[in-house]
Structure 1
Amino acid sequence: MFEEVNLLFFCTCFLPGIQYIRGAITMFRTLYFFFPKVYYSFPVQLLLNNFRRTQVLLLCWIIVFAMITGNFGKYLGIPYLFLDPEYLNRVNFTSFFIMGAVTAGFTTAFHITSYINDGHRFSFVGTLPKPFTKFAVNNSLIPFVFLAIYLYEIIVFQVNNEYRSQYGLITSVAGLLTGYGMMTLVFYTYFRLTNKDIFRYVVCRIDERLKSSVKMTRASAIKKLDIARKKQVRVDYYWDRTRFKPVENISFYDKATILQVFDQNHLNLVIIELFIFALVLVLGLFKDNPVFQLPAASSFVIFLTIFVMLSGAFKYWFGGWSATVGLILFLVVNYLVGEDFFSRKYEAFGLNYNTYPAEYNIRSLQHLNDSAHQEGDRRVTLIGLKNWRKKFGEEKPKMVFLCVSGGGKRAALWALSALQRADSLTNGALMKQSILVTGASGGLIGASYFRELKLRALLGEKIEPYAAVHRDRIATDNLNPLIFSLMASDLFVGFTQ
């Protein structure tokens, strides 16, 4: 009886603890065997490789992440360009379709640059069917997270700020995903038709000697071949379609042949990059056509895409010297900018450029500010005031000074609307009694616009200064053409007009 009590006491007190310890041991064993599989998987190793070697690409991703989440340029309205893109003065399926397409292009440029610069560190990829596609799929952790957050931010913004209906919200999301999917499909089809795996490569060149092929590769291939042989990144599993597959032993493959597979893929990727450059140049020729004036955010993404490709090419060709060469290039460009080498002539509307330009220096400014000029200005102003008073036939007519505030497009629309309303209520007396219009920024644009309308009506033109069409015109988007012109024209000084 006593032994049974002791056994019961032991089971009651210690058995749960033993079971807990066994469970903990089992969990740690599972983590012990599971962690290496995750850590040495291809997606994780590519992510770590991006942090180690491609900080410039990560910086580009950080910028767009910060923009869509409102952590960069919020007070300038930059996030709204991504969350509510406007195309041809409309936010609709087409505007989001364009955003999806350029986002897919930026993602593809990221994959291309990573593949060209670091693909040789993962030699097993060269032995797989469709190597670039496999590489891109496993390199999609960052793009996938970005796309998910982008969709979330769009939905939140459209619901909470734009009060979009369910149909409008579905249309916007469908436009983004359709553009992203179609552009990705175009790139995938091209790579599927052009890129070769190691088996197709060997079959196509079975009659050529390997040594002669190796001699024809670029000088940088020597370093890449050394990396392919000695400095490989360990990868145990890679994602293929619907599941992870173990990496097979590739020791029996010749590293030089694998490297040539990468080189053949690189050529096709360079063709894509050249196509994007050419497309931007062609679009620049039609920058004055509203159809080609893409949403401002998409123009910025295209600019980032070009920057990513240039940085990748720079690192690929100069390798460890890329930082030094980049610094030298920066100093050279900075010097040329100081010498006005890249300057283009922009003519201000209303100025006569057929005469000799006025001097602009300290001496000329002091001359214009001397007592004689001040007295001349005073006399001219006095004559103008007397002529203004003669219009009313009274000694002290009411004099109105207009002052408008700045604030960009909103201030311009507000100033125009307020002046239209006030002048119409006074039967035109407001502008007739006004002697001066002053202010800043957008408000002056609206005031100048209304003043021009009144002047043309006074000169006999068939124009209605108070019509709503003028408010629609001044509220029309002009950021898209400005940003697009900056990207497609000013970015390539000397190539476009």
Structure 2
Amino acid sequence: MRALLSGIHRSFSVQLFLLHLRSNSLLLLVWVLLALMMSGVLGPRLGLQYLFLDPEYLDSDGFWAYLIIGLAYGFFVMSWNLSTYLLIGGYFNFLASLSRPFFKYCINNALLPLGFFLFYCGLVVRFMQPVRDFHPGWWEIAESLSGLVLGLVISLFLYALYFNLTNRDISYYRPQFREPPPNIGPGQSRRGRGYRRTGARALAPKLMSIYDNPYLVKTYLNERLKYKVVRSVAHYDSSVLMSIFRQNHLNAILLQFSTIIVLGTLGFLIDVPFFQIPAGASFIVLLSLIIAFIGAISYWFSEWRFTLLVVLLFGLNLVTSSSWFHHGNQAYGLDYSSSAPYNDTRLLAQYESSVLENDLAATIGILENWKAKQTEEKPPFFVVCASGGGLAAALWAIHVVQTIETCSDGKLLQHTGLMTGASGGELGLAYLREAYLSDTAFSENGVSRLERMGQDLLNPVAFSLVSNDVFLPFTEVEVGGRKYRRDRAYGFERELNLNTQGWMDKPLVDYREPEQKADIPLLFVTPSIVEDGRRMVISPQGVSYMTVPAASQRGDLKLRPDMVDFRRLLPGQSSDSLRFTTALRMNATYPYVLPLVTLPTRPSIRLMDAGYRDNYGVASAERFLSVFRDWLRENTSGVHLIQVSVFRDSDKIDPDDRRGVVENLFSPVGVAGNILGTQILDQEVLLGQLSDLFGPDMFHLYRFNYEPHAEDPLETSVSLHMTEREQQQILLEVDSRKMQLEIDKVLSVLK
């Protein structure tokens, strides 16, 4: 037994794995990162695990999507093999004496990649286990795994073919090609075994123990997966051995550079759906490039690798912060040839008396037009607020609102005067509102809208991040007659327009007249300003009354503006030409997923997700209702606020919370990190104030909150990608008794 264990320990595969643990910690961290993403330990709420467990390609999952994931994983594995071969292949000189040394290295280096692949397959099988109303068949599991395995095999085969045709080994030095290799010893014929040419330089005896086989490897696996005994190479000419390694290394480097060129070229084809690979595959490719980069730095600079990586990161930050690089992402439709001042004086001027009076009068005119379209003398005034939460929030918002719309015979949207929200929820409301305006068969196309809103938005974003943003950061695209930098934001908007039939691909000003006529409800888009924390309110109407509380508008208190009127801030920058999909994208700009938008102001300001200030849309609704409370009291039977949200009650307190010293170092501020939790409590106060303002008989609240079921081990995420299981769970939730009771309350008002 001891001899067996010793043999295993001294096998090439085990020694390679142990050497990685000792020497390649940076490269191993990439494997750990990928494992955390796939298993759902890292970013479970963002749905990172679903990008690998349920990939989507050309609007469908299954065999082809998993095939591409398998191809990407093969690329990842070979990037690992190439990088580690560069770094530690020279420690095992016996490789150079074998035929196809790199191929044998890959076979013996497969311990980690193979174990990881089996771990990944186990996650896929676990994911496809029947849960509640989701029952995949065994053939779906077989189809997915077969695609995964075939993709990996194809990728590895292509690499093997390349290296078999280009890499040199000891056979290159045989007589039919060049001078014979230095074999066993001198004094034998030129064509016989053991010929050693004059002047051959063998390793010195003192160096043999250091360079011949420093890790005392006894066996290795050959192409047939049979163990072979490692032989000494001390008798070989060291220059020949080194030339083999150098030639193999050169091939590896050329292949890495060729791959980068191919990825950069694919960036020009990003608009072709065929090349929009699954987001999971894009992330694997990105991690492969990180491995290649770390491997190259480590190979060329050895002990200085960590220091150089830090210097490069700081250097990259310094260079890209210069004026030549500092352009950021831009809002499509705006004119960036000039900039508008952004300061307190300018913001205070937004709600000066003449401006405020005009905007109040114009909005009251809209409310009067809304009332004229109602059949009641004092109709109920509905407000719909939708929370952020990715495609799950978008799908849930559409599903709830159009379900009530259908059950009320088309009365809900007719009685709705205002829509607010954040991120995905407002994305869904905006599409529903546009369909209400443009679709002549609105009531018949409810199912089609749900299908369209559930379609993937993440594939083009992730692929653009890898191919375009990394390798082609200066490419441009023309939108509305102006040129802008092309990045993953453009890929997002383009895919959104494709999914929503292009109906929202229009400038902001196109919604002015339909809103003024009350053909559609008002909709406020309110992204957050990074620099000062204010909210930007984007609307085709004048909305200066939204910039400060009602008390300040009346002159009771002198308060600083907490919101900014987008159109009034940028009148000389073509604010009316802002693309509406860009406004929605700014409202859903989650960091890293989408780039922050830089506006043409002095100093420049950036916009990001509305959820950081008002994830549920309640704050915006409260401001509007407070300003127009007198008109609403006199002209309506009451205000009815429908709050559509996802994951609102999902944050539970751990009854057995045990934090170690290290965890406490990274979370010392406690409640400051719970942004959404504090927002919920603050908005409960706002809702209470609305009830006090209008009275319990005039203000009514209806809540439709979606929570994933506790028995589902893989919860619904806030990603821009949705699995079939997530969509089924969301669509079925509206039939639950709790939701039906709440719908009945709304219908009792409308009927």
Q: Does 1:56 align with 2:34?
A: no
CA distance in 1, matches of 2:364, 2:130: 56
Residues 294, 480 of structure 1: 8 Å contact kept: yes
Secondary structure at 2:420 match in 1: strand
Q: Which amino acid aligns with 2:149?
A: L
Tell me which residue corresponds to 1:20. Answer: none
Tell me which residue corresponds to 1:411. Answer: 393
Q: Percent identity?
A: 33
Q: Does 1:397 align with 2:375?
A: no
Shift of 1:55: 1.1
Shift of 1:393: 8.0
CA distance in 1, matches of 2:79, 2:307: 24
Shift of 1:466: 4.4
Residue pairs, 1:435-474, within 5 angstroms: 435-457=417-439, 462=440, 464=442, 466-467=444-445, 468-474=447-453
Q: Does 1:189 align with 2:161?
A: yes
Tell me which residue corresponds to 1:485. Answer: 464
Residues 424, 466 of structure 1: 8 Å contact kept: no
Residues 43, 140 of structure 1: 8 Å contact kept: yes
Tell me which residue corresponds to 1:242. Answer: 225
1:235-286 deviation digits (Å, cap 9, x = unpaired): 1211223322111111101222211100111122122212211221122111
1:55-99 deviation digits (Å, cap 9, x = unpaired): 121111111222222322222211121111111121111111111
Q: Which amino acid aligns with 1:439?
A: G
Residues 158, 164 of structure 1: 8 Å contact kept: yes
The structure richer in strand per residue is: 2
Residues 93, 212 of structure 2: 8 Å contact kept: no
Tell me which residue corresponds to 1:102. Answer: 72
CA distance in 1, matches of 2:180, 2:149: 46
Tell me which residue corresponds to 1:286. Answer: 269
Residues 55, 61 of structure 2: 8 Å contact kept: yes
For residues 472 and 43 of structure 1, do their structure 2 counterparts lie closer, same or farther at Cα, with a shift above 3 Å needed? Answer: same
Residues 123, 228 of structure 1: 8 Å contact kept: no
Q: Does 1:317 align with 2:317?
A: no
Q: What TM-score do the two structures reach when normalised by structure 1?
A: 0.83
Q: What TM-score do the two structures reach when normalised by structure 2?
A: 0.56
Q: Which amino acid aligns with 1:45?
A: Q
The ranges of structure 1 where at least 4 consecutive aligned residues each deviate by more than 6 angstroms after the TM superposition are 225-228
CA distance in 2, matches of 1:469, 1:174: 32
Residue pairs, 1:288-307, within 5 angstroms: 288-307=271-290
Q: Which amino acid aligns with 2:266?
A: L
CA distance in 1, matches of 2:167, 2:336: 57
CA distance in 2, matches of 1:436, 1:302: 44
1:119-144 deviation digits (Å, cap 9, x = unpaired): 11111111111000111111111001
1:170-195 deviation digits (Å, cap 9, x = unpaired): 11111111111111111111111211
Tell me which residue corresponds to 1:219. Answer: none
Secondary structure at 2:233 match in 1: coil
Tell me which residue corresponds to 2:6. Answer: 36
Tell me which residue corresponds to 1:222. Answer: none
Tell me which residue corresponds to 1:337. Answer: 320
Q: Does 1:421 align with 2:403?
A: yes
| Long gaps (5+) in structure 1 | 1-29, 215-224
Q: Which amino acid aligns with 1:475?
A: G
Residues 91, 211 of structure 2: 8 Å contact kept: no
Tell me which residue corresponds to 2:415. Answer: 433
Tell me which residue corresponds to 1:164. Answer: 136
CA distance in 2, matches of 1:47, 1:58: 11
For residues 428 and 463 of structure 1, do their structure 2 counterparts lie closer, same or farther at Cα, with a shift above 3 Å needed? Answer: same
Residues 201, 261 of structure 1: 8 Å contact kept: no
Tell me which residue corresponds to 2:148. Answer: 176
Secondary structure at 1:159 match in 2: coil
Tell me which residue corresponds to 2:101. Answer: 131
For residues 345 and 328 of structure 1, do their structure 2 counterparts lie closer, same or farther at Cα, with a shift above 3 Å needed? Answer: closer
Tell me which residue corresponds to 1:143. Answer: 113
Could you tell me which of 386, 402, 420 is aligned with 2:368? 386
Q: Which amino acid aligns with 1:73?
A: G
Secondary structure at 1:435 match in 2: strand
Q: Which amino acid aligns with 1:348?
A: A
For residues 394 and 251 of structure 1, do their structure 2 counterparts lie closer, same or farther at Cα, with a shift above 3 Å needed? Answer: closer
Q: Does 1:206 align with 2:179?
A: yes
For residues 135 and 400 of structure 1, do their structure 2 counterparts lie closer, same or farther at Cα, with a shift above 3 Å needed? Answer: same
Secondary structure at 1:438 match in 2: strand
Shift of 1:302: 0.4
For residues 495 and 406 of structure 1, do their structure 2 counterparts lie closer, same or farther at Cα, with a shift above 3 Å needed? Answer: closer
Q: Which amino acid aligns with 1:266?
A: H
Could you tell me which of 326, 345, 348 is aligned with 2:331? 348
CA RMSD of aligned residues (A): 2.9
Could you tell me which of 33, 36, 45 is aligned with 1:75? 45
Residues 420, 466 of structure 1: 8 Å contact kept: no
Shift of 1:226: 11
Residues 450, 465 of structure 1: 8 Å contact kept: no
Residues 13, 108 of structure 2: 8 Å contact kept: yes
Number of equivalent positions: 451
Residues 212, 234 of structure 2: 8 Å contact kept: no
Q: Does 1:476 align with 2:455?
A: yes
Q: Using the TM superposition, name which of 404-413 and 287-296 deviates more.
A: 404-413
Secondary structure at 2:473 match in 1: coil
Residues 403, 437 of structure 1: 8 Å contact kept: yes
For residues 392 and 84 of structure 1, do their structure 2 counterparts lie closer, same or farther at Cα, with a shift above 3 Å needed? Answer: closer
1:10-59 deviation digits (Å, cap 9, x = unpaired): xxxxxxxxxxxxxxxxxxxx41x333322221111111111111112111
Could you tell me which of 15, 39, 44 is aligned with 1:45? 15
CA distance in 2, matches of 1:393, 1:245: 89
For residues 378 and 186 of structure 1, do their structure 2 counterparts lie closer, same or farther at Cα, with a shift above 3 Å needed? Answer: same
Q: Which amino acid aligns with 2:257?
A: L
Secondary structure at 2:128 match in 1: helix
Residues 41, 238 of structure 1: 8 Å contact kept: yes
For residues 424 and 35 of structure 1, do their structure 2 counterparts lie closer, same or farther at Cα, with a shift above 3 Å needed? Answer: closer
CA distance in 1, matches of 2:323, 2:459: 27
1:182-234 deviation digits (Å, cap 9, x = unpaired): 111111111112111124146545399x99xx9xxxxxxxxxx9997488332
Q: Which amino acid aligns with 1:196?
A: R
Secondary structure at 1:403 match in 2: strand
Q: Which amino acid aligns with 2:179?
A: I
For residues 423 and 358 of structure 1, do their structure 2 counterparts lie closer, same or farther at Cα, with a shift above 3 Å needed? Answer: farther
Tell me which residue corresponds to 1:218. Answer: none
